[in-house]
Chains A and B, each alone.
Chain A
Amino acid sequence: QVTLKESGPVLVKPTETLTLTCTVSGFSLSNARMGVSWIRQPPGKALEWLAHIFSNDEKSYSTSLKSRLTISKDTSKSQVVLTMTNIDPVDTATYYCARAKELSSGWPPDAFDVWGQGTMVTVSS
């Protein structure tokens, strides 16, 4: 069974750095053709894509948040980590990680077929 599970702090103070971890099971991050994205959703609002890490370790970031985000993976721990610097109350949201298979044709990857349960992060002093 393929699962992804997000973990991280529930409450973060403004200007701090947020670190979120996505632990995957049922598939290997070291296998070819599996990528993981981070996606967030402020309360009552739409989904917003943040960052993606491809199987070859290439990374892609939201244009508007690129300067604040870093995505990485530790294949030995089956984890994908997202850091977001200079946190602000507008960053309050549920943060999801989701898997996307990479097709044999190369681009684009497939849809996000498995999502984590999400982790709610509140930014407040």
Chain B
Amino acid sequence: SYELTQPPSVSVSPGQTASITCSGDKLEDKYACWYQQKPGQSPVLVIYRDNKRPSGIPERFSGSNSGYTATLTISGTQAMDEADYYCQAWESSTAVVFGGGTKLTVL
């Protein structure tokens, strides 16, 4: 079955750039999207179709997808960005696949 692999944790200093990766077989052939989830809250879509931001999502969130890796980049990371981040793709045989999640710590 198709799998998406994320690092369990990423740390970043306030104001710096955080990069969270998501790896999967020929991922560039699919659309990758990203969700932010803060404790006790439902996930929120922050990037869709590899690099598009929904309305209301700050410009510091961006995405890319090339080869086997999709990347979520947060520029000028703020304390409020500390959360769990999940990548997701639609795959023809298994339909929906989520990555295992990455805990972003801003310290």
Contact = CB atoms under 8 A, between A and B. Distances in A.
Interface residues of B, number: 26
Interface stretch (B20-28, B74-82, B84-92): B84-92
A33 to B, nearest CB: 15
Given A108-B30, A110-B48, A111-B48, A118 B94 contact: no
B88 A115 contact: no
Nearest to A101: B48
A30 B40 CA distance: 32
A49 B95 contact: yes
B1 to A, nearest CB: 6
A8 interface: no
B96 A52 contact: yes
B44 A63 contact: no
Contacts of A115: 42-44
Interface string B23-62: 0000000110101010000111100110000100000000
Which residue among B35, B44, B96, B100 has the maximum number of chain A CB atoms within 10 Å of its CB?
B96
Given A47-B43, A96-B42, A111 B98 contact: no
A47 B30 contact: no
A96 B97 CA distance: 15
Contact of B98 (A47, A110, A113, A117): A47
A108 B45 contact: no
A49 B97 CA distance: 7
Given A52-B95, A109-B90, A117-B42, 6 more contacts: A46-B86, A47-B37, A47-B88, A49-B96, A63-B94, A112-B33
The 3 A-B pairs at the shortest CB distance, nearest first, are namely: A108-B90, A111-B33, A111-B48
Interface of B: 1, 30-31, 33, 35, 37, 42-45, 48-49, 54, 86, 88-90, 92, 94-101
18 contacts: A46-B86, A46-B100, A47-B37, A47-B86, A47-B88, A49-B96, A49-B97, A60-B95, A60-B96, A63-B94, A108-B90, A111-B31, A111-B33, A111-B45, A111-B88, A112-B45, A113-B54, A115-B42
